[in-house]
Structure 1
């Protein structure tokens, strides 16, 4: 039977398994962190491993949460690599107020906003959204010319599918 504990302002569910002999794993499921441990662990070992796994998860996730400055560095690199340096943004920042969009590009000032909902997602997905918004500096709208620019990025279709899956699951959680 899983036990739920609050650890450093985090909701943690500990799952003990008789089949698990020595390995410990952890993952996030929404706002709950699931930590799976061997059933034989003592409460002290449980506390020790929960703390270790929370630290490990946080380190892993922080690598996937670039700062605004790192977003700009990534945008510059993506622009050079996939758009021949032609789509120079004036600014790129994280945005908390994008509920329905993954990103936006405001012209003519070439400012890009990336939804904070992307934080923690795989880098190739974030890169796709950045590249998508950079492409809007070159092409307004989503016509054939727009998509032709994005063909250079090899994970465009995969990233679009990934984001569509998130949107679908959020809009219809019972369908998944």
Structure 2
């Protein structure tokens, strides 16, 4: 891409950060935007006027924010989703007292405290496809029924039709994180698991 210039300026609103506008001679009609850490990059055609730039930056920021709201449910929405997943796939048998986002999961996608009946989902999962988030939540819900990764645990979790695909997706994310030098993430785990728990060969767990 042939870039002419980049403008960086602060952006206020729902998500604080900076926006970098990149003008390209090759870009004729299309406008693109993506998050890069705390920065938002918006690529526009070189011919855009200042007014068109301002209009499209605002439009693309709004689109990104709407997309992120759909992919980043609140704690209350997580709880509602967990209840729905329990009803759909587990006959309503798994009933957590709370489901929340946390930022201290380290290598885990999520965790489940059996005694407190609390489920914590890593904030690193936010923004992943909804069917992957559902898998992580359901994984932790099944731990309320089967604390360890026994054959019964995996048989119960297998009712989720995208289980294998979601595990593969998470393995891919973990591999990418490892290659980029970040801490390697592993699939979700329970706090109260015994070390001898059985696991299927295809599941990469701690």
Q: Any unmatched runs of 5+ in structure 1?
A: none
- Deviation digits for residues 121-147 of structure 1 (CA, Å, limit 9, x no counterpart): 211111111000000001122222111
Is 1:119 the counterpart of 2:122? The answer is no
Alignment of 1:22-37 (within 5 A): 22-37=29-44
- CA distance in structure 1 between the aligned counterparts of 2:177 and 2:125, rounded to whole angstroms: 14
Q: Any unmatched runs of 5+ in structure 2?
A: 182-206
- 2:54 is matched with which residue? 47
Where 2:143 maps in the other structure, the secondary structure is helix
Is 1:78 the counterpart of 2:85? The answer is yes
* Contact 1:64/1:123 (<8 A) preserved: yes
- 1:141 is matched with which residue? 148
1:87 deviates by 0.9
1:4 deviates by 4.5
- Deviation digits for residues 142-176 of structure 1 (CA, Å, limit 9, x no counterpart): 222111111111111221122222221122227xx
TM-score (norm 1): 0.89
Is 1:12 the counterpart of 2:42? The answer is no
Of 126-135 and 82-91, more deviation after overlay is shown by 82-91
- 1:3 is matched with which residue? 6
- CA distance in structure 2 between the aligned counterparts of 1:4 and 1:154, rounded to whole angstroms: 46
- 1:87 is matched with which residue? 94
Alignment of 1:157-172 (within 5 A): 157-172=164-179
TM-score (norm 2): 0.77
Where 1:138 maps in the other structure, the secondary structure is coil
Deviating above 4 A after TM superposition, structure 1's stretches of 4 or more consecutive aligned residues are none
1:16 deviates by 2.7
Where 1:152 maps in the other structure, the secondary structure is coil
- CA distance in structure 2 between the aligned counterparts of 1:166 and 1:14, rounded to whole angstroms: 28
Give the aligned length.
174
* Contact 1:94/1:115 (<8 A) preserved: yes
* Contact 1:4/1:11 (<8 A) preserved: no
